């Protein structure tokens, strides 16, 4: 039987680790892995940006904390790029559908703390939003 | 059987130029990416790339894996592509993609990751590559 943990957050600068600690209306969800779980089996993620600055970035997920048994794991979540529009023009939105990575199989301990962080690398494109769901088994 | 994930990223500024991906966001010098002890296979790569659309053109993005950590020598894989008709107003956001592979690896040896922009220069491109190892 699977259990889920969803966290999200705002990344405002490149090369800065941002802990994802909120969940919309729930400002401080538990970051303790469910009792009895052994693995992260699946990761569901989305990234987007407001594209208020010209640049290009990639997004990296960092999974750490004492629950992650083989040390910090880093996984690419996505990428975004943007160049400024001509004066008076509008820009198309930058949006993505959820991405699912199956069979992630990251060993974790149950009932222990997990740290979920995101990071932009590259050249700042403005403010980015990142949301991640971990599916435990 | 658990898995381990190791990532590198970097910026590619010119076409047809092999560019080593050596950083990891806030880690500017994470050091060589070594095949973890006990790893049996490089199962997959997870990749994403985006250009800044600062130059009108169209390019493809290629990842190259090299180094003594790959038992059977270098490998290459397409990572993505980008194009824009005018250098004012291009924008995109994309998810990464997992590409299943089945490569033999040599633990404790280095895998060097390169990115490359082929075709026409589309400005600066950021690329990130995760290596998924099977224990």
Q: How confident is the model at residue B62 (pLDDT cuts 50, 70, 90)?
A: very high
Which tokens belong to A121? 């690398």
* CB proximity A95 to B under 8 Å: yes
B20 CB neighbour count, 10 Å cutoff: 13
Closest CA to B50 of B10, B88, B98: B10
A81 with A51: CB under 8 angstroms? no
Once rounded to an integer, what is the mean pLDDT over residues B2-9? Answer: 97
Tell me the residues of chain B between 59 and 88 that have a Cβ less than 8 Å away from chain A. Answer: 80, 82, 84, 87-88
Distance CA A59, CA A57 (A): 7
Q: Smallest CA–CA separation between A102 and chain B, in Å?
A: 9
Distance CA A131, CA A45 (A): 6
Task: Kindly give, in sequence order, each residue whose CB lies less than 8 Å from that of residue A136, ignoring residues fewer than 6 positions away.
Answer: A2, A3, A4, A5, A33, A34, A37, A39, A40, A41, A108
Determine the pLDDT at residue A88.
Answer: 73
What is the set of domains in chain B, with CATH numbers? 3-27+34-134 (2.60.120)
The CA-to-CA distance between both ends of chain A, in Å, stands at 6
What tens digit of pLDDT does each residue of A61-115 get? 999 999 999 999 999 999 999 998 877 777 777 778 899 999 999 999 999 999 9
What is the set of domains in chain A, with CATH numbers? 3-82+96-136 (2.60.120)
* CB proximity B94 to A under 8 Å: yes
What is the ipTM for the molecules in this complex? Answer: 0.87
A96 with B95: CB under 8 angstroms? yes
What tens digit of pLDDT does each residue of A13-62 get? 999 999 999 999 999 999 999 999 999 999 999 999 988 899 999 999 99
Facing B128 at nearest CB: one of A39, A76, A123: A76
Determine the pLDDT at residue B22.
Answer: 98
* CB proximity A88 to B under 8 Å: no
């Amino acid at each position: 039987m699977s259990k889920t943990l969803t966290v999200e957050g705002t990344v405002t600068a490149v090369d800065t680790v941002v802990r994802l600690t909120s969940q919309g209306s729930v400002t401080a969800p538990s970051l303790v892995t469910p009792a009895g779980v052994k693995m992260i089996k699946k990761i569901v993620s989305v990234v987007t940006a407001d594209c208020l600055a010209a640049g290009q970035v990639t997004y990296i997920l960092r999974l750490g904390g004492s629950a992650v048994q083989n040390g910090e794991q880093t996984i690419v979540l996505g990428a975004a790029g943007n160049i400024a529009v001509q004066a008076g023009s509008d820009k198309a939105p930058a949006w993505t559908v959820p991405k699912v990575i199956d069979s992630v199989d990251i060993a974790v301990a149950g009932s222990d703390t997990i740290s979920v962080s995101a990071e932009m690398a590259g050249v700042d494109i403005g403010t980015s939003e990142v949301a991640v769901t971990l599916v435990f088994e | 059987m658990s898995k381990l994930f190791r990532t590198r990223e970097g910026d590619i500024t010119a076409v047809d130029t092999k560019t080593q991906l050596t950083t990891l966001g806030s880690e500017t010098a994470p050091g060589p990416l070594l095949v973890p002890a006990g790893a049996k296979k490089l199962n997959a790569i997870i990749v994403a790339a985006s250009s800044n659309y600062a130059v009108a053109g169209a390019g493809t993005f290629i990842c190259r894996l090299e180094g003594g950590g790959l038992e059977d020598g270098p490998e290459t894989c397409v990572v993505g592509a980008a194009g824009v008709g005018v250098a004012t107003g291009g924008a995109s956001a994309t998810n990464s993609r997992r590409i299943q592979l089945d490569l033999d690896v040599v633990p404790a040896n280095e895998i060097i990751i390169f990115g490359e922009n082929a075709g026409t220069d589309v400005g600066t491109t950021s690329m990130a590559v995760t290596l998924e190892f099977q224990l």
